[in-house]
């Protein structure tokens, strides 16, 4: 009979998760950078800071539709009496009359100059005439064509965008380690940048191993287990920013396993396997990958103080020594293993900073217990409090982790020394990127 003391003693022999992660991540480097076209760069991580080579806007321009004028010519506009068309203005208005000497649109390119007592009708985005320092909005005028009456004088500089107002030359547009977003692509393009240097999205191959596995589309029978893992882990890798490829099921034949992995090293920056990480008679993956073939690397399997799924593997395979992450076969444990190990590896290869999910402190809504000596990651639902901060509701964990994860938008983290967390206490929660 196993006692609590026996369980704690066994847990003390496991490697702490933080120590294990540090040992893995120190062995990896970001993928070599590539120069890519803007549309191809979207979703990748910048390898270098990107500086503005040109000002934005590139020239002085009208920010609104209206009349470009000299502010000195408008100074007489003021509130003194009534006006039949603009009676809503408090106190009435004294209009200023200016000659409209031309129209300027966004495609106008010939330089023009204002003279005293004149203005140009301008569209938003049109180049500003030389000498103009204000654009009067249309609704502050009588909308005249040959001449216009201006009923109110805006502040000097109103309605005008000067060259470099938004982005001056030399401004850091985005820092190394940032994901290229659609808005970032627009900023780069507007600043005259057509290519950027990025880290490529890691190519990730996902393999499920085990003689017992069958493909999806039918229920399990005795001696059979539906392969949920390779589908789920491929989706998780895509969500993490990788180019992921599901190879499917590989049986436990050593030669088949070695051959499949060797073939995949030709197109992979990372291989993720699931199943066979334990020490049981059917755990062929661990026995095959633990062997070092001709000095070309091996995978080390470690029992980590992690719940669920303590047995994890990391190393390299093939002549190119492609990194490989080995996750447990139980689906809930495989997905937790992905979150704590495989996802940070993908982020590091992609050059992303930081590599870990964001975490918050949250108010625990329900008392939970946790196995001593293990760092438990439990599915949870996180919500923002109306007055600030977060609350967290634990969901199904332990043997029901998979069903709990389907509802979760966070992972409740209970440390190795925590055997129980009381309702009302403050706990750590990893935020999952779920679009809901």
pLDDT of 12 over the 50 cut: yes
pLDDT digits (tens, 9 = 90+) for 216-229: 887 778 878 889 99
- pLDDT of 69-121, one tens digit each? 999 999 877 543 344 433 334 444 578 999 999 999 999 999 999 999 999 99
pLDDT score recorded for residue 2: 46
* Residue from 170, 192, 185 nearest 58 by CA: 192
Is residue 235 in some structural domain?
yes
- Structural domain contains residue 392: yes
pLDDT at 225: 87
How confident is the model at residue 434, as a pLDDT? Answer: 59
- Output the furthest CA–CA distance in the chain (Å, rounded): 100
234 and 114 co-located in one domain: no
CA neighbours closer than 13 Å in the CB half-sphere of residue 60: 17
Predicted pLDDT of residue 75: 80
Domain CATH code at residue 189: 3.90.105.10
Q: Per-residue confidence at 8, pLDDT binned at 50, 70, 90?
A: low
**Averaged confidence pLDDT in the chain:** 89
pLDDT at 79: 46
Residue 3 is assigned to a structural domain of this protein: no
Among 181, 199, 217, residue at a domain's last position = 199
- Residue 270 and residue 374 in one domain: no
Q: Do 323 and 311 fall into the same domain?
A: yes
**pLDDT the model gives residue 82:** 40
Task: Give per-residue pLDDT as tens, 147-161.
Answer: 999 988 889 999 999
The pLDDT of residue 84:
43
Whether 5 is covered by a domain: the verdict is no
Q: Which domain, by its residues, includes 223? A: 17-31+201-350
Average pLDDT, integer, range 191-200 = 95
What confidence tier does 66 reach under pLDDT thresholds 50, 70, 90? very high
Q: What average pLDDT does the segment 116-129 reach?
A: 96
pLDDT category, 278, cuts 50, 70, 90? confident
Note if the pTM is more than 0.75.
yes
Query: Mean pLDDT lowest for which of 71-75, 191-195, 291-295, 395-399?
Result: 291-295
Distance of CA 267 to the CA centre of its chain: 24
* 344 and 274 share one domain: yes
Query: Which of 273, 301, 278, 275 has the alpha carbon at shortest distance from 15?
Result: 301
| Structural domains counted in the chain | 4
Do 137 and 22 lie in one domain? The reply is no
Q: What is the mean pLDDT of residues 367-384?
A: 95
Structure tokens at 103: 């129209």
Q: What angle do CA 263, 259, 244 make, to 5 degrees?
A: 40
Please report whether residue 9 resides in a domain.
no
Please state, in angstroms and as integers, the Cα–Cα distance from residue 47 to each residue in 183, 200, 315, 347, following that order: 18, 9, 25, 13
Residue 89 maps to a domain: yes
Q: What value does the mean pLDDT take over residues 114-129?
A: 96
Average pLDDT (366-373) is 94
The span from the CA of 366 to the CA of 350, in Å, is 38
Out of 12-21, 86-95, 281-290, 379-388, least confident range: 86-95
Residue 293 has pLDDT above 80, yes or no: no
Say whether pLDDT at 418 is over 50. yes
Q: Where residue 374 sits, what CATH number does that domain have?
A: 2.40.340.10
């Amino acid at each position: 009979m196993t006692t609590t003391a026996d369980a704690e003693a066994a847990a003390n022999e496991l490697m702490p998760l933080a120590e294990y992660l540090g040992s893995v991540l120190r062995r990896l480097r970001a993928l070599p950078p590539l120069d890519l076209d803007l549309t191809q760069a979207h979703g990748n991580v910048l390898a270098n800071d990107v500086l503005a080579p040109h000002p934005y806007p590139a020239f002085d321009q009208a920010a609104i539709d209206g009349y470009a004028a000299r502010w000195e010519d408008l100074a007489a506009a003021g509130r003194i009496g009534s006006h039949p068309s603009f009676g809503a203005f408090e106190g009435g208005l004294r209009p200023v009359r200016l000659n409209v000497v031309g129209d300027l649109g966004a495609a106008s390119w010939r330089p023009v100059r204002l003279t005293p007592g004149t203005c140009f009708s301008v569209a938003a985005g049109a180049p500003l005439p030389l000498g103009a320092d204000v654009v009067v909005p249309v609704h502050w005028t009588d909308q005249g064509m040959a001449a216009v009456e201006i009923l109110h004088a805006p502040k000097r500089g109103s309605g005008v965008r000067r060259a470099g107002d938004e982005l001056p030359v030399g401004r850091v547009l985005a820092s190394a380690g940032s994901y290229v977003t659609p808005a970032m692509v627009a900023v780069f393009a507007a600043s005259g940048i057509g290519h950027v240097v990025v880290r490529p999205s890691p190519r990730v191959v996902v393999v499920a191993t085990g003689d017992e596995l069958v493909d999806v589309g039918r229920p399990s029978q005795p001696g059979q287990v539906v392969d949920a893992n390779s589908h789920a882990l491929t989706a998780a890798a895509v969500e993490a920013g990788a180019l992921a490829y599901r190879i499917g099921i590989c049986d436990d034949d050593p030669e088949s396993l070695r051959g499949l992995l060797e073939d995949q090293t030709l197109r992979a920056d990372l291989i993720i396997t699931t199943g066979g990480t334990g020490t049981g008679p059917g755990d062929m993956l661990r026995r095959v990958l633990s062997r070092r073939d001709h000095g070309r690397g091996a995978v080390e399997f470690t029992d980590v103080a992690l719940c669920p799924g303590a047995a994890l593997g990391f190393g390299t395979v093939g002549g190119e020594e492609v990194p490989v992450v080995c996750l447990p076969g139980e689906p809930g444990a495989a997905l937790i293993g992905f979150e704590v190990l495989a996802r940070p590896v993908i982020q590091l290869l992609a050059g992303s900073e930081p590599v870990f999910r964001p975490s918050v402190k949250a108010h625990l809504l329900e008392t939970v217990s946790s196995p001593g000596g293990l760092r438990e990651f439990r599915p949870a639902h996180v919500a923002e409090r109306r007055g600030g901060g977060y609350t967290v509701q634990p969901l199904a964990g332990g043997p029901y982790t998979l069903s709990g994860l389907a509802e979760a938008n966070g992972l409740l983290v209970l440390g190795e020394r925590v055997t129980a967390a009381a309702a009302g206490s403050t706990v750590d929660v990893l935020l999952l990127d779920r679009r809901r």
